[in-house]
């Protein structure tokens, strides 16, 4: 994902005292029309001009490692935030990302330890483990506060948005590219958005380890 600093479009109002909202619901189109188990892993955010951009304060959050899984799977944080990765497994992990310019490598560490990384640049950060190839998490780093993650039923709302026209971006790991829509925020009366994401062609793709090589496997299974 590429976060866009500039604003596309023209604000409807010269003054920004009126706060509005952008709200609606997303659905994911699945193969064989199966129900979607991960609607809440989507992220929605608005491009905003510098004149109305309000940055959220940096925070510290956790992505825990348990049973060779990152939880939560998707985290959205303001620019400058820190993410801690506590290891609850009885073996070592090596949290890393090759996502420039937010790449990092926390090295091997064991049960009961926690290491952290501070994200100084906006954008999507794909996080892996150098030991276990199926471990994946996503951190989306935001320049402004106009973002949201849906509830389990796909409903979402971005509140306290200065009145005007924006471009809404919708990201989900299982869609091939972001969905982008022109939207309006105002004092009320805007219809709720209905957004469909197509994941019918999604297929998990293996990634390389931190050295750019394939993970060592035994008949397609993790060695440990």
Verify that 148 and 51 share a domain, yes or no. yes
| Per-residue confidence (pLDDT) for residue 224, from 0 to 100 | 57
Q: Say how far apart CA 14 and CA 90 lie, in whole Å.
A: 58
Mean pLDDT of 93-101: 98
Mean pLDDT of 14-19: 44
| Per-residue confidence (pLDDT) for residue 99, from 0 to 100 | 98
Could you tell me the pLDDT band of residue 209, with boundaries at 50, 70 and 90? very high
Cβ density class 84-107: b for 16+ within 10 Å, e for less:
ebbbebeebbbbbbbbeebebebe
Could you tell me the pLDDT band of residue 66, with boundaries at 50, 70 and 90? very high
| Per-residue confidence (pLDDT) for residue 81, from 0 to 100 | 98
Of 141, 160, 185, the residue at which a domain comes to its end is: 141
CATH number, domain with residue 97: 2.60.40.420
Q: Summarize pLDDT for 140-181 with one digit per residue, the tens.
A: 999 999 999 999 999 999 999 999 999 999 999 999 999 999
Mean pLDDT across the chain: 88
CATH number, domain with residue 190: 2.60.40.10
Verify that 149 and 135 share a domain, yes or no. no
Verify that 124 and 103 share a domain, yes or no. yes
Could you tell me the pLDDT band of residue 70, with boundaries at 50, 70 and 90? very high
The total of structural domains in the chain comes to: 2
Percentage helix, strand, coil for the chain under 3-state DSSP, each rounded to 5: 5, 45, 55
Verify that 50 and 148 share a domain, yes or no. yes
For residue 85, the Cα-to-chain-centroid distance in whole angstroms is: 16
| Per-residue confidence (pLDDT) for residue 186, from 0 to 100 | 80
In 3D, which of 129, 115, 83 has the Cα closest to residue 102?
Answer: 83
Distances (CA, A) of 88 to 72, 137, 150: 14, 16, 28
For residue 154, give its domain range: 1-55+143-224
In 3D, which of 191, 149, 201, 172 has the Cα closest to residue 30?
Answer: 201
- Would the pLDDT of 37 be above 60? yes
The reported pTM is 0.88
- Would the pLDDT of 7 be above 70? no
């Amino acid at each position: 994902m590429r976060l866009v600093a500039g604003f596309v479009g023209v604000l409807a109002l010269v003054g920004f005292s009126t706060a509005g909202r952008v709200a609606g619901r997303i659905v994911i189109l699945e193969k064989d029309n199966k129900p979607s188990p991960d609607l809440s892993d989507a992220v929605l955010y608005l491009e905003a001009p510098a004149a109305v951009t309000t940055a959220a304060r940096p925070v510290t959050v956790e992505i825990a490692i348990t049973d060779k899984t990152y939880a939560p799977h998707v985290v959205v944080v303001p620019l400058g935030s820190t993410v801690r990765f506590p290891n609850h497994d009885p073996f070592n992990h090596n949290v890393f990302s090759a996502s420039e310019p937010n790449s990092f490598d926390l090295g091997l560490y064991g049960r009961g330890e926690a290491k952290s990384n501070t994200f100084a640049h906006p954008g999507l950060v794909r996080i892996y483990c150098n030991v276990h190839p199926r471990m994946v998490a996503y951190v989306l780093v935001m320049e402004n506060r106009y973002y949201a993650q849906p509830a389990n039923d796909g409903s979402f709302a971005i509140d306290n948005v200065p009145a005007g026209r924006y471009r809404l971006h919708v990201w989900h790991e299982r869609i091939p590219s972001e969905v982008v829509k022109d939207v309006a925020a105002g004092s009320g009366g805007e219809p709720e958005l209905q957004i469909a994401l197509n994941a019918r062609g999604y297929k998990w793709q293996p990634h390389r380890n931190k050295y750019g090589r394939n993970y060592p496997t035994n008949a397609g299974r993790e060695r440990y």
